Amino acid sequence: MYRSLIIIAAAVLFTASCAQTGPGLSDLKWIDLSHDFSEETLYWVTAERFKRTTVAEGHTERGFFYSAYNFSGAEHGGTHIDAPIHFAEGKDTVDQIGLERLIAQGVKISVTEKAAADRDYQITTSDIEEWEARNGRIPGGAILLFETGFGAKWPDAKAYLGTDRRGDDAVKELSFPGLHPDAAKWLAANREIAAVGIDTASIDFGKSLDFGAHVALMENNIPAFENVAALEAVPETGAYIFALPMKIRGGSGAPLRIVAGVSVDRKK
């Protein structure tokens, strides 16, 4: 309750401040950073995919239209959140993640050219330091988004994941960029980030066997957003990120609706 009151108070103060010194909500351009869920949605090659079945759809005997559906699928698929419990025993489940880790200013680091040259590229501490040399230190409490350019390949499984096969045998064929474990450790030790996000299927690169970036972040209770969309539309600084997952009690992950608010007069 105390944490919720802090978030509400901060939101009120932010809105009041924006009205006087900066953009209010009506002055923001909203960018949807979420892929929609359908039978085309990409999931980990061993995970249960999204399925929707029809309960009812059509006009009733009383004359009004009515539709209802059931859906199912793995926690980790499409645009989703990895809760710290996913790779760190005793850390936060989805429902325990504080709102201050889900609603915050955002910064974006792009490695699109490097990822285009090497689809197994791992984002380094040097990439982060080069960004800071241009933009200043990553603000405390910020959500850090990594753009690799792979969002443009969605939903082509072969192009996006490196394979269009499914099952255990397909794991060794996965190929996409990610965050190097050493860079994840550096971030956890040296920067107070709220969460990280990436436009690939995993915060670790596709060929990872030990998921070191996941472990390094999540042992420090830092969640990750995966399969984030449209990062090319997000500026390096100045965005406000709202990343709200389905609140699954005890969940290790959940579908995520994530959006960015950017001042309409701000240039990239």
Q: What does the pLDDT read at residue 23?
A: 57
Phi-psi region of 155 (alpha: psi -120 to 50; beta: other; left: phi over 0): alpha
- Residue 265 has what pLDDT? 73
Say yes or no to pLDDT of 163 above 70: yes
State percent of the chain over pLDDT 70. 90
pLDDT tens for residues 54-99?
A: 999 999 999 999 999 999 999 999 999 999 999 999 999 999 999 9
User: What's the one-letter identity of residue 52?
Assistant: R
| pTM (two decimals) | 0.90
Could you tell me if 66 and 60 are in contact, meaning their C-beta atoms sit under 8 angstroms apart? yes
pLDDT interval class at 264 (50, 70, 90): confident
DSSP per residue, 150-189: GGGGTT-HHHHHS----SGGGGGG----EE-HHHHHHHHH
Place of tokens 């959140």: 81
